[in-house]
Structure 1
Amino acid sequence: MPQTYTNDHSPSVLQTYTWRDANNSAAYLLSYLQPHMSILDVGCGPGSITIDLARKVPQGHVVGVEYVSDPLDGARSLASSEGVTNVSFEVGDIHNLPFPENTFDVVHAHQVLQHIEDPVQAFKEMRRVVKEGGIVAVQETSTSTLYPESEGIAAWSDLQDQMRQAKGNFMKAGTQLHVWAKGAGFPLEKIKKSTGSWCFSSPTEREYWGGAMEGRIRSSGLAATAVREGLASEKELQHMAAAWRAWVENEDGWLGFLNGQILCWK
């Protein structure tokens, strides 16, 4: 499958992902987990959610897969440093997962389908490798809102949207998860739809998110591609980065995300 992921796995990008854990990014799934379960975490990135899921199934095992190997050594090191041993990581494509049918009790994907070529095929593959009676759990961004509004931040958002659309990414993927799941063969009565949210407003939270966005603009594959393809100049990128820094330092700064989430039973 063609590579449609707009971001890379540079430190400024991974900084955003390592904040995520099972509690803040997969809470809708946790009440269904049992200590003995086997879990596949698709699009695991730096492994912070994967490792936390492994803690939730101490007698089970969790496998994290990513389409490239770039972040996986870091994920393995993180698991080792935190003493989590019931987890492993390998390369795998969500469109063609390298596992037999009926392998896992749970298949989980977080903020992955918006970046891929064929979400219906991804759901088909996740359905194939989950056991009968097992769960496929997916969360994707639906929309976001920010205060105070900023010309520079709006320009960064527009630039990301432009680049994602050029890659064929699915904007607001969280709004149509149930449609993709139905297309993959899940009956509507076996699909549970819900929403979750994130809010970044404290100084630490603003630094985490806004600082990460500033870092992406100053040093990431996305920013380099934007300049190379003539979508933004270095001067324009620096203006966007400065806008995020101003938001971080504004005590009234507030950012909220609404995520669509879905549980599908096979």
Structure 2
Amino acid sequence: MSTPSSTYLHGHHQSVLRSHSWRTANMYILDIGCGPGTITVDFAVLVPDGKVLGVEYSPDVLEQARTYASGRGVKNIEFTTGDIHSLDYPDNTFDIVHAHQVLQHLRDPLKAFSEMRRVTKPGGYVAIREGEVSTFTWYPENKDLDEWLDVYLRSAQSINSSPAAGRQLIALARKAGFERKDIIATASSWCFNIPEDRSWWGKMWADRTLTSSFAKSVIDAKEATREDLERYAQAWKIWEEDEDGWFAMIHSEVVCKVEVE
């Protein structure tokens, strides 16, 4: 008979469980760039005795986020507008501060990172995930999609956003005041190849290319014409419909602990 690798002294008698059930995850979480609130609501579900605040720069999408939260029956949540470069909260307010696909769209990701650290409590965490657009890879090869990616990256640089912020997360964290030992850096990937995934991804990028503010930015910057954008959107549709279609990209991630002084 093997010896257990560990033994819990108290066991799981009801007298013990009563004390365990008293404990609650009463965290205060800030989700920056919350958009329609899907991630924010998931946080709230995970901390039913805590509170989650979703912040978005533009108020346009927040009603959608509130409707989504209400539909999920989540009440420990709030949505408001705010600027990641100047968060309207005191120092040491939140247990966790999270941002997903936000820094790459900013002119000053370091200032944003520093603000995230400022409002995090000692012992708390800053968690950031950024997609690496330059790693977009697809099959079959398509020159129009190659051109689209080049236009995307040039346009992002022309408006002073930071499409390479993901690979710089460790450097940004250190400049924001984190010690290297308090930074956990990882990477993950998305891969779309089954018909349902290809349909969602291809249609989304075709629509973004033609109807989002990306189109206006690209045309205003003279990086492409309307005809070019229509050609790029059609290329996404062609990729989506190809049974051999495959797409992948990587994400950069960090979880940074604020030291207790």
Of 214, 217, 230, which residue of structure 2 is paired with 1:225?
217
Partner of 2:71: 81
Deviation digits for residues 198-236 of structure 1 (CA, Å, limit 9, x no counterpart): 111111111111110111122122113323443222221
CA distance in 2, matches of 1:237, 1:87: 39
Question: Mapping of 1:90-105 within 5 angstroms?
Answer: 90-105=80-95
Deviation digits for residues 106-144 of structure 1 (CA, Å, limit 9, x no counterpart): 000111111112122111111111111000000112323
Are positions 1:210 and 2:202 aligned together?
A: yes
| Aligned structure 1 segments of 4 or more residues deviating by more than 3 angstroms | none
Give unmatched runs, 5+ long, in structure 1.
Answer: 1-33
Partner of 2:51: 61
Partner of 1:25: none
For 1:209, give the aligned amino acid.
Answer: W
Q: Give the TM-score normalised by structure 2.
A: 0.86
Partner of 2:136: 144
| Residues matched between the structures, number | 233
Of stretches 223-232 and 236-245 in structure 1, the one that deviates more from structure 2 is: 223-232
Deviation at 1:48, TM superposition (A): 1.0
Deviation digits for residues 19-74 of structure 1 (CA, Å, limit 9, x no counterpart): xxxxxxxxxxxxxxx73211100111111111111111111111111112111111
Secondary structure, in 3 states, of the residue corresponding to 2:60? coil
Deviation digits for residues 149-183 of structure 1 (CA, Å, limit 9, x no counterpart): 21121222112111100011222322110100100
Question: Mapping of 1:187-198 within 5 angstroms?
Answer: 187-198=179-190
Secondary structure, in 3 states, of the residue corresponding to 1:71? helix
Deviation at 1:81, TM superposition (A): 1.4
Deviation digits for residues 224-259 of structure 1 (CA, Å, limit 9, x no counterpart): 332344322222111111110011101111111111
For 1:88, give the aligned amino acid.
Answer: E
Bigger radius of gyration among the two: 2
Contact map agreement 2:136 2:248 (CA 8 A) in 1: yes
Greater RCO, CA 8 A, separation 6+ = 1
CA distance in 2, matches of 1:217, 1:141: 18
Q: Give the TM-score normalised by structure 1.
A: 0.84
Partner of 1:126: 116
Partner of 1:186: 178
Partner of 1:166: 158
For 1:49, give the aligned amino acid.
Answer: I
Give unmatched runs, 5+ long, in structure 2.
Answer: 1-23
CA distance in 2, matches of 1:102, 1:228: 42
